[in-house]
C-alpha cells in the first residue's frame, strides 16, 4: 500500500491563498482542499452570485481531478461551506448541472465568514482514481 503523499496545484486552477496545495493523493485516495469560485485566468471571482461561483468551483475540480487520473464521477464526498443558506437552491442547481446523475455523499454547512472577500461558498471533496 502506497504511503507517499503527493501534493499539487495543477495549472489552470486558482492559486491557493495560503501555504497549501489544492490536491493531495495517496494511492487511489484523493482529497481536494477548500476551493472558492475564482477564475484562474483572472484571479477574480467568477461572478457575484452563488451559481457562477459554484460552476467555477466544479470546473476547477474537473481540472484538479483530471490531473490525478480521476473525474467528477469518482467523487465520494463533498463538503460545501455556504455563507447564506438562502443560496442553497441556486447552489444545488449549478451543482446538479455539473454532477449530472452522480450523487456522492454531501454535507452543507452554513458559515458566517470566508477568507476571500465576496466569496459566497467554498467546497472540498474526497475522490478516488479511475483505476
Question: pLDDT for 24-34, tens place per residue?
Answer: 999 999 999 99
93 in a domain, yes or no? yes
How many structural domains comprise the chain?
1
pLDDT in tens, 12-54: 999 999 999 999 999 999 999 999 999 999 999 999 999 999 9
Instruction: Answer whether residue 52 is part of any domain.
Output: yes
Assess if residue 16 is contained within a domain. yes
pTM of the model: 0.96
CA–CA separation, 49 and 69 (whole Å) = 31
- Asked if the structure places residue 28 within a domain, the reply is yes
Q: How far is CA 16 from CA 3, 20, 22, 93, 113, in A?
A: 25, 7, 7, 26, 18
For residue 104, the model assigns a pLDDT of: 98
Alpha-carbon span 54 to 94, nearest angstrom: 6
Rg (CA), the chain: 14
Q: How far is CA 47 from the centre of its chain?
A: 16
Q: What's residue 131's pLDDT?
A: 86
**What domain range is 81 assigned to?**
6-128
* Domain membership flag for residue 1: no
The CATH number covering residue 14 comes to 3.30.1330.40
50 lies in a domain? yes
Per-residue pLDDT tens over the stretch 71-82: 999 999 999 999
Q: Is residue 116 part of a domain?
A: yes
Supply the pLDDT for residue 72. Answer: 98
Q: How far apart are CA 54 and CA 77, in angstroms?
A: 16
Asked if residue 19 is part of any domain, the answer here is yes
Amino acid at each position: 500500500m502506497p504511503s507517499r503523499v503527493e501534493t499539487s496545484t495543477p495549472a489552470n486552477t486558482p492559486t491557493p491563498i495560503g501555504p497549501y496545495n489544492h490536491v493531495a493523493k495517496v494511492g487511489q485516495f484523493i482529497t481536494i482542499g477548500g476551493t472558492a469560485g475564482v477564475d484562474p485566468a483572472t484571479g477574480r471571482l467568477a461572478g457575484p452570485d452563488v451559481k457562477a461561483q459554484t460552476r467555477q468551483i466544479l470546473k476547477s475540480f474537473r481540472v484538479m481531478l483530471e490531473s490525478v487520473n480521476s473525474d467528477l464521477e469518482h467523487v465520494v464526498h463533498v463538503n460545501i461551506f455556504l455563507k447564506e443558506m438562502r443560496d442553497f437552491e441556486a447552489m444545488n442547481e449549478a451543482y446538479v448541472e455539473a454532477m449530472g446523475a452522480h450523487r456522492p455523499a454531501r454535507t452543507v454547512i452554513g458559515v458566517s465568514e470566508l477568507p476571500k472577500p465576496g466569496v459566497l461558498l467554498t467546497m472540498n471533496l474526497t475522490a478516488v482514481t479511475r483505476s
